[in-house]
């Protein structure tokens, strides 16, 4: 691992750290250290990183702002590639927006709403990055990324790269082709929006932001929705009806505001969160015979 670190630093690809605690890079403020933590400073650097990492035969995975993610207490054996500064360019041409994967989704939604462009109002309160949003087809308020994406530029696990069209992304509920079929990293996205009334768009986005503030516990560290909605049911509603709101294991607690959120009350471990997830799954299966599948990604070792 040290040899790889030396090569990466010599290549001047951005930030390279050893044994970096990941609790500082997730919205849940939980997570053990990564053997090697890399924050590339350009698209070309991402390609270079993957080339060197693959050459060394070291496992890797990419993260954005660390929302929708639970890193286990044992941390990550291998490499974490964080897409942030250096991959946060923004270019707006008429109704077309070209944006780097490290750009904040909330910031993007705010900027384009003020320009009278419609299509991202649903993202007003989603605390992730553009890359993560495309990767998992993030959505809310009956819309999602698949409705506006034209294409995404990706660097794939084998080191190759190229554009994937909306159709090639094979979007479905909180899923894209990049998760299992064609593993890769989104480094850039092009969205097509529609012109609209600026005041109406800003008002709609603000309404979505306010709704999230009122109904979701963003005053505590959390990872967003824990479970996928087992349609036609809603995860939060099932958890609330089962009387689980407020239930706590260690420092991890089911939010009093929303049943599908687990919050870190201050000293939660990833194991606390895992135990709480398993407890919820057990109770919902017993009460309703419904299997609850996690929406958050769970990575690392115990």
Residue of 39, 45, 129, 174 with catalytic role: 174
pTM of the model: 0.89
- The pLDDT > 70 percentage for the chain reads 100
> β-strands 161-165, 297-299: how paired?
unpaired
Please report, for the chain, the start and end positions of each structural domain, with discontinuous segments joined by +: 2-82, 90-214, 217-299
pLDDT at 219: 84
295 catalytic residue (yes or no): yes
Average pLDDT over residues 193-214: 87
Catalytic residue among 45, 146, 225, 255: 225
What dotted CATH number matches 2-82?
3.30.43.10
What are the pLDDT digits (tens) for 221-243? 999 899 999 999 999 999 999 99
Instruction: Tell me if residue 174 is catalytic.
Output: yes
- For 90-214, CATH gives 3.30.465.10
Task: Confirm or reject CATH 3.90.78.10 for domain 217-299, answering yes or no.
Answer: yes
Q: Which residue, 233, 248, 243, 247, is CA-closest to 292?
A: 233
The rounded mean pLDDT for the chain is 93
- 7 band by pLDDT with thresholds 50, 70 and 90: very high
Per-residue pLDDT band at 86 (split at 50, 70, 90): confident
Active site residue 65: no
Confidence of residue 214 (pLDDT cuts 50, 70, 90): confident
């Amino acid at each position: 691992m040290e040899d790889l670190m030396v090569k990466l630093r010599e290549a001047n690809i951005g930030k390279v750290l050893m044994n970096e605690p990941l609790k500082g890079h997730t919205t849940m403020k939980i997570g053990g250290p990564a053997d090697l933590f890399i924050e590339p400073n350009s698209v070309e650097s991402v390609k270079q990183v993957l080339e060197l990492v693959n050459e060394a035969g070291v496992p890797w995975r990419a993260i954005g702002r660390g929302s929708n993610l639970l890193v286990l207490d044992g941390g990550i054996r291998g490499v974490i590639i964080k897409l942030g500064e250096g991959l946060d360019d923004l270019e707006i041409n008429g109704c077309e927006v070209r944006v780097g994967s490290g750009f904040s989704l909330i910031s993007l939604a705010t900027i384009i709403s003020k320009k009278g462009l419609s299509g991202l109002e649903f993202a007003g309160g989603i605390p992730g990055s553009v890359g993560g949003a495309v990767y998992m087809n993030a959505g809310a308020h009956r819309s999602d990324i698949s409705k506006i994406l034209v294409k995404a530029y990706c660097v794939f696990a084998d080191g190759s790269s190229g554009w994937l069209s909306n159709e090639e992304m094979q979007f479905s509920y909180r899923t894209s082709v990049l998760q299992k079929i064609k593993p890769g990293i989104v480094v850039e996205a092009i969205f097509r929006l529609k012109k609209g009334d600026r005041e109406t768009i800003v008002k709609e986005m603000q309404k979505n932001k306010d709704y999230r503030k009122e109904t979701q516990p963003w005053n505590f560290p959390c990872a967003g929705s824990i479970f996928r909605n087992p349609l036609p049911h809603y995860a939060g509603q099932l958890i609330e009806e089962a009387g689980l709101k407020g239930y706590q294991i260690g420092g991890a607690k089911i939010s009093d505001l929303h049943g599908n959120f687990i919050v870190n009350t201050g000293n939660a471990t990833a194991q606390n969160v895992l135990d709480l997830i398993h407890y919820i799954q057990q109770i919902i299966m017993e009460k309703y015979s419904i299997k609850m599948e996690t929406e958050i990604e769970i990575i690392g070792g115990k």
